[in-house]
Structure formats: C-alpha cells, structure tokens
Chain A
Amino acid sequence: MRKITYRDALREALIEEMHRDASVFLLGEDIGKYWGGAFKVTDGLAQEFGEERVRDTPISESAIVGTAVGAAITGMRPVAEIMFGDLTALAMDQIANQAAKIRYMFGAQAKCPMVVRTPFGAGVNIASHHSQSLEAWFMHVPGLYVAVPSTPFDAKGLLKTAIRGDNPVLLCEHKLLYPLEGEVPQDDYTVPFGVADVKREGSDVTVVAVLFMVHKALNAAKELEKDGAISVEVVDPRTLTPLDRRGIIKSVKKTGRIVIVTEDCRTAGVSAEIAAVVAEEALDYLDAPVKRVAEPDTPIPFSPPLEKYVIPDEKSIIKAVKEVV
C-alpha cells in the first residue's frame, strides 16, 4: 500500500470531503493561500477551492469557533483550525458552552456538525503556550466528541467521520506527527468513533497510549520484547469521547496489567479517566496496580533538557511496564 504523511492524510480528507459536499468549508488563521496553515495541512487548498471556502480569518479564536457554530446550525459543515491547541482556551466558551450544548439545551432542534482541528503536544521547544496536551479539558464537555489520531490512516479516517457526522468534534492532532509516514489506502474509507485499535498485540501487559505516545509505546514494546521477553499489547483508543471502554477492558482481561501513557498532566488527565474505567469495570482481572505515565503537573518548560524531562519517553514507559510485570 502507498505511504503518505499524517499531514497529507489530513489534507486528503479535507480535499475529498470538500469535493463530496459543497457545505464543507474551512476557516482559520493563515490557512489560506499565503501560508497554507501553520503546519501546512491546508497548503494549496485555497488555490483549489477558492478563498470563500478556505477562509483566512483575523486572530480571533472565539469568533472563529463561534462562526463555525453559527454556520453549522444553519446548514453548513465548517472545519475550523485553531493554530495551536493551547489557543483553544481563547475559544473555550464557544466550544464548551455553545457548540457542545446547543443541541441539548434547545431540545434537539439543532444539530451542530462542525470540526475544530488543532495540534497539541510538546517536543519542539516552543514552551508553555504552544506545547500543551489539553485533551482532557474537552473530555469533560458532554456534547463534544474528542478524536486523537496517532497514524496517517487514523487521521484521514477520523477526520472524514468527524466532517460527515452531525456533532461537534475536536480533532486533536500532534505537531510531531505531521511528518510521520504510514499506509493509507487510495479508496474512500472512514474510521468509526469509539473503536479502539490494537496497534500491537501482546499478552503480558496492556499499554494504553494516545497520539504521539502511541509511537513511544510501540518503541518501548519492541525493546521490552528484546531484553526482557515481555509481551506488550499497545491499545490506541483513537477517540477519547466516545471512549471504547470495552476495547480497553478486553485487553486488560487478556493481560491482567495496564500502563496508561499520555502526554497530558497526570492530575485529572486522560489517564485518570481510563484508570477509573479499569478500576470500576475490570479490577478483578488486574494482577498489579494500574500504572500511569504522564506529564508531572508542570507547565511545559522551554529549555531542551527541561522539556525532555517532563515528557514521557520510552525509558519511562519501560520502567513502568517492568514495575507491573
């Protein structure tokens, strides 16, 4: 199968959906012909679809998302880009109080089919305002879906599902994933929400990981197989809302052990929710306590050694796995 990058997979999804459905349009800061998106996901799209449908906006995050909401409830399918995940804070009211609640509080009169795409994640030394992983904030907002693609295949398939669906979706990308290559079929396909993917089969321990941590977990799994003969199963939830509780439990029942690896802060983070699910529904199957590998509740620091210290890596995953096996 052909291989393309995560960035190109996202772009392909946008192009194909814009051809398929005239109500799909894009808006965001510098996504148009002069820049093509800060991470080049929308590069060339303004030239292909015109500036009406690939719309550069002022630096107004709240109005970008609010505009998407207003367009979505009146028949359009907007895809908004927020340049960095950290900046969703500026649009939080429109995401959490408007987009997510508009259907419910108006008694299902409205649907709000919109996507907010945004990159999270550290690793490129751009410090506290451009590096956070804030997925957990959005898991706390009923009415919103949260997708976390870790591969080009998932990125394209999840984005297509997000665009075609009738609910607001936050598509969390990761800035280190954009250049990553992976197999993506030529034919049209979608990836369903709420279905975890076993990225690697194993029998001794389940490692649940999201976004870039999936790849670190896969590297760690290879190492562990080599030196310690520990067989690691890597499970990628792919969407945090809805969360495939059954998929996670199924793996835990098989291995009897779980390590949860996320890049966000430990306290009340993604890993906390997954740990709670396992504690509630699979405690009897556990042979060891739940283990979490996460960011240690600090802002993301700038200096390379400082940043490296707070972001989970293969070493910390290997250590955690060895502690539970």
Chain B
Amino acid sequence: MTTDLPKEKLVEMYQKMLQIRGFEEKLFELYSQNLVPGTIHLYAGEEAVAVGVCSSLRKEDYITSTHRGHGHCIAKGADLKRTMAEILGKKTGYCKGKGGSMHIADFSIGMLGATAVVGAGLPIAVGAGLSVKLRKTDQIVACFFGEGASNQGTFHESLNMASIWKLPVVFVCENNLYAMGTRQSIAMNIENIADRAVAYGIPGVSVDGNDVLAVYETACKASERARGGEGPTLIECKTYRHRGHSRVDPARYRPKDEVAEWLSKDPIKRFRDKLLRFGVVEGEIQAVEKEVSLQIEEAVRFAMESPYPQPEEALEDVYA
C-alpha cells in the first residue's frame, strides 16, 4: 500500500482520529462518574469514516450529522473545548447548553448540526445542496447517517431529489451493522446499502469504513463529482461501534467473536501501523499522541470549570 498524500496530511488525519477516540473514551469515563447529564452515543470505532470524509472537504463545505455526532464535529474542525462544554450542558458550549450531545452544531465551519431524529438530516443536506446550486458557489455537502436511517422514507425522498437535481451532496452511510439493537439482516434484505443507489441512478460504493485512506479516496472521488456538478454519490462505510448504542447499552446482542473480529480491525491501530510503513517515525507519532491527550485534558478542564447557563436562559432564542 502506498499513498500520494503528504506526510503532514497523514499525521493530521491521525491526529483527528485520536482526538475523537480520546474525546469519546474520556466522555465514557466522565459518564461513569455521573458527570454527564442525559445520554451519549459514542463514535469510538468509527473514526475512519468521519475523518476520511471530512479530510476530503474544504472548510466552507457543509456537513450534517446524527445523534452519534461527536466524531463528525471534531473531524470537521470543531473546537474540543466547546464541544465538551456543550455535552456537559455548560453555557460555553456550542449551543449554550440548549442542544447537548445529540445536537451539536458549528455553523462557522459548515457543521450544520446534528439531528437526533433518525433520517431527518438527509432532506436538510439536500436543501443545503440546493442552496449551493442556487447561490452558485462551489461548496459541497457531506451527509452522515447510519444504515438504520436508510430504512426511513426521508432516505428515499432525499436521494431521489438530490439525483434529479444533480445536487452536490455526498451521502455517507455509516453501516455499523446495528440500528440500536436491531441487526441489519433483521431490518433489510440486502447486505450492501450502496446497492440502493441503483434506484436513484447514482453511483453507490461500499468501502472498508475502518480504513481511513480507503474512505478518504472514495470520498475524494464523490466530492469531485459533486463539485463538478455531476450530482450525488452514496458511500457506504462498513464499520463498527466499539461500545453499545448509548451509555446504558452493554450491547449483549452482539456475538463475542464478531466484536473481537472488529476490535482487531481498529481503524486507529491500523492507520498507526500504516503511518510507520509510510515512514512517519515512532517519535513523531508519540508526540501527536501526547499532544492530543493534553488537548482532551484541556477540553475537560474548560468544560468542568465553565458555568451552567442561568435557568431563565431557557426562554431565550426560541425566535430570531
């Protein structure tokens, strides 16, 4: 395996993946200490998808996200401190504590927000794509969703609409095999979500979602196609979440050997090995790892020290 990517880009991608993993593992720890209100849906294990896709985007490009959205935010360039603060319900969070884990947005980097209604982000991504077309900019939109969302009506409506209007949208299906506890085979009669693209006359590609470079290359092709005015692509990234659906879920519905097999395909471990083979030296990798762990600590400190919003702020921002 070779790559044409410059070393700096590779290291940057590795750093983003580490940030996501570190952030999620830290969050799990905080949750176990009862320091996180509500619930959390962790992205650990799926880092190669968000980082592979977002590395193919420009800052001004848009993404839409899901309830399992921390990884998308971080990959698009969101600030770790404000992300952590939002998840802890603090005033300094991205949404001033109004959104929480399932609704983080950073419009300044094109992160149009996470919706917690499964499949609801797809039409919104189509709208952003239409807006780009009408405003005649060369932005594109990456729309993240899970395989469970591909059973929603909005999936059909959105892919159809994006295809007839040739909108610059890249539909990124994170197929982690389970919609909550429902195994894919129980909910659909096909193995590859990408096959559904045929119904809309658009390209559909299945890719190893634990291989960040494979995801990146596929996303680059789809992004180019979108930017060139040729329309949307459906990318299916086969991946696996390391933990349960949400915090309270021990994921007993997943066979042990299946879990073991996927853990052995850990996208971060695999990419680290590759970096070494590409000539990035061990010391450099360790320096990045150290830096990221400091960034995570700093994010936690910032979030913990930040104040909660005043209760009556609940009444603000309902209308513009």
Contacts and interface: CB of A to CB of B under 8 A. Distances in A.
Interface string B83-103: 000000000011111110001
Interface residues of A, number: 44
Given A58-B157, A63-B158, A108-B96, A70 B120 contact: no
Interface stretch (A6-14, A73-81, A274-282, A313-321): A73-81
Given A62-B154, A63-B161, A71 B134 contact: yes
A110 B107 contact: yes
A94 interface: yes
A138 to B, nearest CB: 14
Contact of B120 (A97, A104, A145): A97
B13 interface: no
A63 B126 contact: yes
Interface in B286-320: 316-320
A107 interface: yes
B130 A67 contact: yes
Contacts of B105: 106-107, 109-110
Contacts of B131: 70-71, 74-76
B111 to A, nearest CB: 10
Given A74-B62, A107-B98, A107-B99, A63 B319 contact: no
Given A70-B126, A107-B317, A109-B105, A25 B153 contact: no
A107 to B, nearest CB: 3
A253 to B, nearest CB: 28
A222 to B, nearest CB: 38
Contacts of A57: 161
Pick the most buried of B160, B317, B319: most chain A CB atoms within 10 A of its CB. B319
Given A74-B62, A109-B94, A166-B320, A62 B132 contact: no
A76 B136 CA distance: 12
B299 to A, nearest CB: 18
A196 interface: no
Best-surrounded residue of B64, B113, B320 (most CB of chain A within 10 A): B320
B164 A68 contact: no
Interface string A53-90: 10001101011011111111111101000000000000
B320 A106 contact: no
24 contacts: A57-B161, A58-B160, A58-B164, A65-B123, A66-B124, A66-B157, A67-B161, A69-B124, A69-B127, A70-B64, A70-B127, A71-B127, A71-B128, A72-B127, A73-B107, A93-B120, A94-B124, A104-B98, A104-B317, A104-B318, A105-B103, A108-B96, A108-B320, A143-B319
Interface of B: 62, 64, 93-99, 103, 105-107, 112-113, 115, 117, 120, 122-135, 153-154, 157-158, 160-161, 164, 316-320
A-B CB proximity, top 4 nearest: A70-B127, A66-B123, A107-B95, A63-B157
Interface of A: 23, 25, 52-53, 57-58, 60, 62-63, 65-76, 78, 93-94, 97-98, 102-113, 142-143, 145, 165-167
